[in-house]
Structure 1
Amino acid sequence: MKEYYVQRTAGGTGLIVTEGILVSPQGSQWPTSPGIWNDEQVAAWKTIVDAVHEAGTKIYAQLSHVGRTAHPDAELQRVWGEPVYGPSAIAARVGGKFRFLPGSPGYVIPTPISDPRAIIAQFKQAAVNAQRAGFDGVELHGASGMLIAQFLDSGANQRTDEWGGSAANRARFALETLAALKEVWGPDVAFKISPGNGTNDVGMPVAETIEVSGHLMKEVDKLGLAYVALVRYNAKKDTLLDGRPRGTEHDVLGTYAPLLPNTKVFVNGSVTPDEAVELLGGGVDGVFFGMPFLTHPDLTRRIAEGKPLDSVPRVQYLYDGTGEDGSVGYTDYVT
């Protein structure tokens, strides 16, 4: 992992945001997902952060909780001894093939979270741990059907208490989590959100999506965050349910950026280098590259020198755990 992250500082990369780092031992779809809930993990992350800093790049920890997209038979989940939690007792219907478990089972009905503030406390402790590891800030993962998105979505959250129902109530979990992170990090807290994304069975009608995410963005703009990363809708990457796109296609940037006049807005989602120049010229504060950076460790230099992006077909997802060389497709690219 240290080699992976240091590779991606090549060419003077300004900011790296990590993969989603779990704030608790939830049994995610990936058996080796990184976490930051104990001292051993803090020490391991510190070696990575120090190396990234030595190369001259800043690095934020993306804090994540998978919520209902965990599985009770995953090793960490069993060791932890807690059930799979979600906003309500509603299982996701698409996605979630736990290939490392016998029979590749899918999602399960989660146990409703009795006190969401207990989960917020886990996020806050993870923020403290990220500070101990030397990170420059934290980004709250509110995208891709993870727990924050589950609370926002009426298909996953059908609570009748202060955490469900109205747009304000469904946005409460995200806002209180961000407030807890700011108690630790001050202004060095960011937020990633994908209002159109259908991953892990989230997605509402357009009007409801805009109502809930719009309310959330207006409140987020009052918090003084480092930035908000808006993930654009991408039909090619949307999940299908009964043959139809699960997500909510709408203009994410055009809809929500005007609601963030006091916050830096970064764009994410299949942005090309040429388009990035246009977006920056049009008032966007920054652009994130995801898959291109995964597949090109020297992406910053390639963009600066006008070199082609040609390594995408080499990405590998080692679902089967057959002992293949984990560097293949991650750190072995020709630069």
Structure 2
Amino acid sequence: MTQRNADDAQTAALSDPLLRPLTLKHLVLKNRVMSTSHASRLIQDEFPQEVYQRYHEEKTRGGIGLTMFGGSSNVSIDSPNTFQQINMGVDEVVPHLQRFSERVHAHGAALMCQITHLGRRGDPYAEPWLPMLAPSARRETLHRAIPQAITGSDIRRIVSDFGRAARRCLEGGLDGLETHAGGHLIGQFLDPTVNLRTDRYGGSAANRKLRTFNFHLRTARIEAWRGADWRRRDASGSSFSSSALLCKLRPGAAGIAARIGAEMLMSPSEV
């Protein structure tokens, strides 16, 4: 590369918003190019091992600032790895995460994971053959099973499972995490066509917003991460309130879609 070409490349990097650094609370990404969480079907024995890690490492060699993995990693025993997902519900995953993060960080990129509980989206015929859970006993459209209405004790257990999974991400050297809401348990609590409860976890949109399972879940996740909650937005950005409002306006809307939609409506120039 000639000096002129190098100068042109540097000028382009400074002028292109995608190539500018981005600060997310404690973390500075070298650019705004990222790979989102998805299921690559490269998992071995429920953990992100060599092939899976190399798949993401190659992206960081190419220069992206953030690679996210684990779409969607399960946190509880009654959220089976139906789609060849990562098991984030056991401590044995931590050494794999530590090696994974070392490889990605060596190329100057950040590493984050997506965690979830499938709720009624799970397959009741998959090992360990436990009944699927949902806010209400509404038939699921993929596996066609009728889930069991979740109890208060199950909610407390699953919230704790999310917190422990977040702690494993931290111990594994990850830079952050996200929770999946699109059609999974979190989104099912937000969806008025699935959540028919009349207790504090159901009812009106305002009640679901203030008393919902998701509030407890977020609290557990933040507590586990201790000050490194990079996804949290201040009053000038989108909020849980705006996301819940969109769910109310569009029954059946997935929570994650509502979150993205709220951000686009409130500040299109920043999306």
What TM bracket, shorter-length normalisation? 0.5 to 0.7
Within-5 A mapping of 1:168-207: 168-171=206-209, 172-185=212-225, 186-190=227-231
Shift of the 176–209 alpha-carbon distance from structure 1 to 2, 3 Å rule, reads: farther
Paired with 1:229 and 1:56, the residues of 2 have a C-alpha distance of: 32
Give CA deviations for 1:250-286 in whole Å, capped at 9, x if unaligned.
xx5443x35xxxxxxxxxxxxxxxxxxxx6xx233xx
Equivalent position of 1:85 in the other structure: 133
Q: 2:116 aligns with which of 64, 71, 75?
A: 64
Paired with 2:258 and 2:110, the residues of 1 have a C-alpha distance of: 17
Residue type of the alignment partner of 1:283: E
Give CA deviations for 1:66-99 in whole Å, capped at 9, x if unaligned.
0001122102x33xxx421111111123xx2xxx
Paired with 2:82 and 2:251, the residues of 1 have a C-alpha distance of: 31
Q: Secondary structure at the match of 2:68?
A: strand
Contact 1:140–1:190 (CA under 8 A) maintained in structure 2: no
Report how far residue 148 of structure 1 moved.
Answer: 0.7
Q: Secondary structure at the match of 1:6?
A: helix
Normalising to structure 1: TM-score of the pair? 0.54
Q: Secondary structure at the match of 2:180?
A: strand
Over the matched positions of the two proteins, sequence identity in percent amounts to: 32
Paired with 1:134 and 1:157, the residues of 2 have a C-alpha distance of: 36
Paired with 1:231 and 1:176, the residues of 2 have a C-alpha distance of: 21
Confirm whether residue 3 of structure 1 aligns to residue 54 of structure 2: yes
Shift of the 253–138 alpha-carbon distance from structure 1 to 2, 3 Å rule, reads: closer
Shift of the 112–207 alpha-carbon distance from structure 1 to 2, 3 Å rule, reads: closer
Residue type of the alignment partner of 1:155: T
Confirm whether residue 148 of structure 1 aligns to residue 186 of structure 2: yes
Shift of the 205–42 alpha-carbon distance from structure 1 to 2, 3 Å rule, reads: closer
Q: Secondary structure at the match of 2:223?
A: helix
Within-5 A mapping of 1:122-141: 122-141=161-180
Q: Secondary structure at the match of 2:270?
A: coil
- Segments of 5+ residues of structure 1 without an aligned counterpart are 97-105, 196-203, 218-227, 233-251, 259-278, 285-335
Normalising to structure 2: TM-score of the pair? 0.66
Q: Secondary structure at the match of 1:8?
A: helix
- Segments of 5+ residues of structure 2 without an aligned counterpart are 1-51, 233-237
Confirm whether residue 117 of structure 1 aligns to residue 170 of structure 2: no
Q: Secondary structure at the match of 2:231?
A: strand
Task: Tell which deviates more after alignment, 41-50 or 176-185.
Answer: 41-50
Paired with 2:229 and 2:247, the residues of 1 have a C-alpha distance of: 32
Name the one with the larger helix percent.
2
Q: CA RMSD in A?
A: 3.2
Shift of the 207–182 alpha-carbon distance from structure 1 to 2, 3 Å rule, reads: closer
Report how far residue 45 of structure 1 moved.
Answer: 2.2
Shift of the 27–211 alpha-carbon distance from structure 1 to 2, 3 Å rule, reads: closer
Paired with 1:168 and 1:90, the residues of 2 have a C-alpha distance of: 22
Q: 2:80 aligns with which of 27, 34, 54?
A: 27
Report how far residue 205 of structure 1 moved.
Answer: 11
Q: Secondary structure at the match of 1:9?
A: helix
Residue correspondences, number: 203
Paired with 2:188 and 2:258, the residues of 1 have a C-alpha distance of: 18
Within-5 A mapping of 1:31-46: 32-46=84-98
